[in-house]
Amino acid sequence: MKSIIITGGAGFIGSHVVRLFVNKYPEYRIINIDKLTYAGNLANLKDIENKPNYTFVKADICDFDTILSLMKQYEVDGIIHLAAESHVDRSIKDPFTFAKTNVIGTLSLLQAARLYWESLPEKYEGKRFYHISTDEVYGTLEMTHPEGIEPPFKTTASSTDHHLAYGTDFFYETNKYNPHSPYSASKASSDHFVRAFHDTYSMPTIVTNCSNNYGPYQFPEKLIPLFINNIRHHKPLPVYGKGENVRDWLYVEDHARAIDTIFHNGKIAETYNIGGFNEWKNIDLIKVLIRTVDRALGNEEGASEKLITYVTDRAGHDLRYAIDSTKLQKELGWEPSLQFEEGIAKTVEWYLSNQEWMDNITSGEYENYYNEMYKNR
């Protein structure tokens, strides 16, 4: 039986990857390692928690001795590394935590994997360390066409009503890193460590950089679940600056499919960008989201636009992210499956149908965090 560790498997993206692997590969043993910090939630995995090929271990990836022990105990063949501190606003307030988790945690995993795998007769044969990162490490792109132009690529998931690019340059796998926030700097450093372990020790590694994810089970500090919940409770919708920042959006289940494809078929030491071919200005996305939620709640469509509240922009807020996933599309045959409007409709339906899940995680500590984040802005 092949044993795979998935770190951060109780979080947003991680839970979707765990679910996919547990259900699709009953012959694999999936070990979910998660510290269960604020965004980790085992309720995300209740539907698979009793599967015979699934094991949950509460552990901190920074605890090297524990990670090495788990590598030996479960005779681990592969690691899919998703555990990370991932919110830019939190990184601005507390960069030390991001450096510890994202850099030292990744290094702890790499060293434990190296020592265990190099102790085996077969060494690295049949082993794989797959590190999931972010497009934010590339920095920011210019918005040379704020009116929007036709992009140079299209997929079956491209929106029929809104398929635009806001510049002529994109993030490619060959781009130099140019991180601007403590979060992206910590992820860039972890990416470099992963590549260094391949170059120095010949560890079979892969790195992917993904765009903004959305979908079920996302902790509501991120834009889409935050706004769905605020519309439901008639609370202000805090929009940074003028809402003109551009992001590429990827439905989380499409990301999980990409991770599956790359883990099994990706080339060792390669980098792959994973994106939705799907640029949106924040304010345009917000208005689509408002209309969708209003329809679902039986409100007059667009009625909740009055809740939009412009707040002081984030320090060092990158203007435009736009990822080119053509390499992944051409080499491994992956592309996103849902048009953005379809994905948003599914996402809104899930959150409104799972209000107990949302209410449970938006009480107590989250309420304190939310009030602190947006007061006086």
Q: Could you give the CA distance from residue 334 to residue 250 in angstroms, rounded to a whole number? A: 13
Query: Which residue, 47, 342, 363, 84, is CA-closest to 229?
Result: 363
Annotated catalytic, 183? yes
Contact 91, 183 (CB under 8 A): yes
Active-site annotation holder among 138, 183, 217, 351: 183
Location of structure tokens 């170059």: 199
What order of strands is seen across the sheet that includes strand 279-281?
212-214, 246-251, 279-281
Render 278-289 in DSSP notation, one character per residue.
Answer: -EEEHHHHHHHH
Annotated catalytic, 244? no
User: Which residues are 4's β-sheet partners?
Assistant: 30, 78
Active-site annotation holder among 34, 85, 135, 294: 135
113: alpha, beta or left? (left if phi > 0; alpha if psi -120 to 50): alpha
What is the dihedral angle through the alpha carbons of 204, 127, 260, 42, rounded to the nearest 10 degrees? -110
Active-site annotation holder among 136, 173, 324, 335: 136
Render 124-158 in DSSP notation, one character per residue.
Answer: TTT-EEEEEEEGGGG-----S-TT-B--S---TTS
Location of structure tokens 């006086």: 376
Render 289-304 in DSSP notation, one character per residue.
Answer: HHHHHHHHHTPPTTGG
Annotated catalytic, 279? no
Number of Cβ within a 10 Å radius of residue 127: 19
Which string of b and e fits 131-142 if b means at least 16 CB within 10 Å?
Answer: bbbbbbbbbbbe
Vertex 356 angle, CA 355 and 360, to 5°: 115
E-strand ranges in the chain read 2-7, 28-34, 54-58, 78-81, 128-134, 205-210, 212-214, 237-240, 246-251, 271-274, 279-281, 308-311
Give the residue numbers marked as catalytic.
135-136, 183
